Chains A and B, each alone.
Chain A
Amino acid sequence: MAIKTTVLTRPKMKETSYLRAALKGMKITLAHMLNPKSVTQQYPEVETRLSPRWRGTHRMEVHADGRPKCVACGLCPTVCPANCIRLVGGEDDQGNRYPVVYEIDEFRCIFCGMCQEVCPVEAIHVGQDFENAEYTRDRFVYDLDRLMNQDHPTSLLWDPTDPKSE
């Protein structure tokens, strides 16, 4: 196999001049200094826009009568790669399965969204939310009530404007 060689022309004086390059740079920076096109988000004052695919802290969907949609099938704790979901299932007198204990340790969670993907009844969702600050560590284990009371929008896991993510 022949070695490919490329002959490069020497840079011309115009291109190697420090002085001209410096002045050109000064011109560019002056233009930006006088007319800054700031891209900074003024976060606490101006809400930042999250992607519809954003996967944040979880949320449990509820039925109209306030019961969780979860049927305690056990798929989400099984699929969870971080093993952060604790589920103890129960059955009421009509034979409906429901979660007796449903806890998510948000510290362990890696926000992969697989619980949402795997859920057969669309009960558990990851949400479009990132303001999770708490004063104590135990506040980061979200129990069922807390998950049901979250009110941020749920993640779509896909972008409706770009469904095939092209």
Chain B
Amino acid sequence: MENSQIVGVEDGMVFYLITVLKIATVFGVIMLTVAYTTLAERRVSAFIQDRLGPNRVGPMGLLQPIADGLKNLFKEETLPATASKVYFLLGPMLAMIPALVTFAVIPFAAPLPTSWGAVPMIIADVPIGVLYILALSSLGVYGVVIAGWASNNKYAFLGALRASAQMISYEVGLGLSLIAVLMLAGNVTLTEIVWKQQQIGLWFAFPLSLGFILFLICAFAETNRLPFDMPEAESELITGFHTEYSAMKFSMFFIAEYAHMLTASALMATLFFGGWDLPGSWDDMFLYDGAYISGFSGDGTPILATLSLWKTLATFLAFATKTGFFLLLYIWIRWTLPRFRYDQVMELGWKIILPIALGYAMIVAGTMLTLYQIGIDYGFVFGLVLTLVSGLCTLGFVFLVDRGGTIGGAASGRKARS
């Protein structure tokens, strides 16, 4: 769909004003969420470890992120004498920008009715949604690699090397696990993926359960979070690629990491948990032929959807809840699991995720083809059959991974010796 087909807000000043307003709002909300995710990380980790966490600045420590930001702004910026100056300064920017712009294509609520017409709650409903995200999230690694190389520090360099290898490895698994979603949705636009989930009556996490699990693992690896935080690996590489960074430049890497987390969480919520969709069909809506519709009647005529402020708010809350859950999952897993060894990360990526994602894409494609051939159209039954097939695949995957020593790595005993 092109922007010109959006009801009411077609073009001209209103469109630009609303877009600028949306960008400013989304940027502000992202930065605020990132700031408070850092606080949540510290507080939740403290609770997990029977501590209290930062609770001094403001009530319950709620002003801590602001204090941290101010501290980082006023701290001294260091520039290592042997660092490559241009790239050293470029690194944090390259890490931060892709993490932030990715959010532009993620729909975060149902369209908002205004006096100028419906305003879609997405900054840019580009027709290449998922591809745009994949392209930009791969750009994120340039910041890490350039920062690590420009620091002229052996630990930073090792971190950068690891980052590049890991990103490339898991990019493959990420893309392949997405193929099932794209096939089922028949489109790469995120708004349409949400709509398709509303139409099938099931969030894609059910008909594509194994795809979701693989995507989750790859997303953890892509965002450099534990148990895959090879590029940082405090106990091995000091702090990896950002060893030489201080003050606001360090802070930018920090913001980039959490913004990546936020984007990945929002993406998981959108692709596999219906995005802003609430269970039930009262909030179903999609831009079809210049108008928002909630579905098709028996003879194929579209039924117009009713937009309301409450719908927008409720769906935004649903989206925020889902995203928040994944952010919490990120933190929860980080403070539970120990770091993989580097060869284990590579083995998991290439020897387990890649072939399984490839096979799974084939199985989903085969199932869909069979279903279409025997005359079952896209709908709830279609979804149930896929749920069953995916459930079996998931069981098989769990059985395979559950065997001791599957994620053994090249150096581990039994498998390598036999």
Contacts and interface: CB of A to CB of B under 8 A. Distances in A.
Interface string A6-18: 0000010101111
B404 A16 contact: yes
B60 to A, nearest CB: 13
A97 interface: no
A124 B399 CA distance: 72
Contacts of A15: 404
Contacts of A36: 46-48, 50-51
A29 B50 CA distance: 10
B378 interface: no
Given A22-B336, A22-B337, A29-B335, A38 B51 contact: yes
A32 interface: yes
Contacts of A22: 336-337
A32 B404 contact: no
A40 B51 CA distance: 6
B405 A26 contact: no
Interface of A is mostly: helix
A146 interface: no
Interface string A32-51: 11001111101000000000
A16 B407 CA distance: 10
B336 A26 contact: yes
Grouping DSSP codes into helix (H, G, I), strand (E, B) and loop, the B interface class, with mixed when no group exceeds half, is loop
Contacts of B398: 19
Interface in B34-78: 44, 46-52
Contacts of B406: 18
Interface string B374-401: 0000000000000000000000001001
B417 interface: no
Contacts of B402: 13, 17-20
A153 interface: no
A143 to B, nearest CB: 37
A48 to B, nearest CB: 15
B52 A38 contact: yes
B27 interface: no
A13 B406 CA distance: 11
B48 A13 contact: no
B18 interface: no
Given A18-B406, A36-B47, A38-B50, A29 B332 contact: yes
A126 to B, nearest CB: 31
A90 interface: no
A30 interface: yes
Contact of B48 (A11, A18, A19, A32): A32
Given A11-B404, A25-B336, A26-B333, A32 B47 contact: yes
Interface of A: 11, 13, 15-20, 22, 25-26, 28-30, 32-33, 36-40, 42
Interface of B: 44, 46-52, 332-333, 335-337, 398, 401-407
10 contacts: A13-B402, A17-B403, A18-B406, A20-B402, A25-B336, A29-B332, A32-B48, A38-B51, A40-B51, A40-B52
